[in-house]
Structure 1
Amino acid sequence: MQTRTDNLSVSGHKFKVKSYWLDQVADFGKTVDYPVMIICPGGGFTFHSQREEEPIALRFNSLGLHVVVLEYKLIDDEPVFPLALQEMGKTIDWVKQQANLRHIDKSKIILTGFSAGGQVVAAYNGIGTDPKLRHTYSLEQYDDDFAAVILGYPVIDMTVKNSFPIDEKVMYQISTDKTFWQTQAYLNEHSKPTFIWQTRTDELVSVSNSLMYVDKMDQLGLPVEYHLFGSGIHGLALGTYVTKKPGKDKYLNAWSAEWINLAFNWLEMMGYLE
């Protein structure tokens, strides 16, 4: 495996992508083009959680996918959106440009987001697949088609009461454009199949977020698989000792940790791992 960090830019703004590229296996006797997963970690738009970066990346590497971690825009002196959306478009385009060098199957790019990163991915699965909105937010310049989405305890609708973000001021720091406040509203016939999971006891992001997303996918007749686990805190990541915070056993949850095997089975069932 080869790892590296690259700097990309959109609209004069620089951002980083961390790559975990699989090596070819000589024993196969032929070259293999692998799927690519692009991960957006959580962190409440104030940081990028490393617990949802390399540990997740290496786990999916072991399942036969290249992985790229997108360190999207955070809250600062200008809103997160629409710049974070453009960063995603640029990243997908950048990945495709390396198809021959890295042996990438361009038809099998999976976007994966956790918590706040889930909002970035959810927004892209709606706004980024709508022809009119793509023009509105300057996305048509990118070769950014993708195959599927995986969401873990995602922020979907920022207007939900008693759910992140609680403070309206933070909502405006994330986006002054209310289009990005309710990402489920922009799912459309072009949106991609989605695997989504959350825990019923998530104390930060109300479970109604994922439920609204799944309901809209179902209304549109789009492929969706949803797993609502009965227990577990927000931000479980892998739910194992690999991503447990030192001395905090609440980050362990053997049952919810099955999400990654379920996601792998779903990817296989959908034909993304052939």
Structure 2
Amino acid sequence: MPFQKVTPEKLSTSVIRQIELLILRGILRPGERLPAERELSERLGVSRPSLREAIAELQSRGLLSSKAGAGIFVADVLGNAFSPALVDLFSSHDDAVFDYIAFRRDMEGLAAERAAKFASDTDLKVIDTVFKKMEAAHPKRNPTDEAQLDADFHLAIIEASHNVIMLHMMRSMYQLLREGVFYNRTIMFKQRTTRTELLEQHRSINTALQARDAAAARQAVSDHLTYVERSLSDHNKAKQNEAIAKQRFEHEAARD
């Protein structure tokens, strides 16, 4: 008969499984510091030796890392998604910017559709809370804060889609966006009209999600990213025009 004796699972193995799932589900994020050993062992209800054994195993597998005098951290598991050579290529070619936006439009549209269907009530509260922060930040006109909240809003939708592959892939993509590899998001918040339109676009996305209207949520995300694409294209064209105008001006001034 194909039966085997059931053996109790080691405590350290249970700890490993729990931390693995927290990382997989995106609850523990890259760079996040774990609680101190005593506190964590109490929270998990295991001895400190069992906890140390689990931490050591997770470190050997590259999921956790230690910093002398600072503690144990979730490893930068997103950092190897793209090679440095490929990142350099992304940052030096404008075509990559628009391919990136097209990719986001497809993936985030799908994420919004899934979130409208599968998000829990708490997921939707998180999205709504981030949007309310965006509303509060709008009068303050701080491009950095607004850009960060913009990313937080979109990532909250991806988290609410409950697809762990999409979650980690898009977090990796957003990390490159934060580092300015694809484009500087603060450009999008410099003009008053642009800022207001962006806020209203995010309102439309949030409204559709709160209503659990999957088709409307996907369309609102598509409309938003199409607007971003057009705005960046217009910005690039304006920079080119200004460069030409400066050449013309310098040439005309030299003729005097």
Q: Please report the TM-score for the alignment, with normalisation by the length of structure 1.
A: 0.24
Higher strand share: 1
Larger radius of gyration: 2
Q: Please report the TM-score for the alignment, with normalisation by the length of structure 2.
A: 0.25
Instruction: Say which structure, 1 or 2, has more relative contact order (CA 8 Å, 6+ apart).
Output: 2
Higher helix share: 2
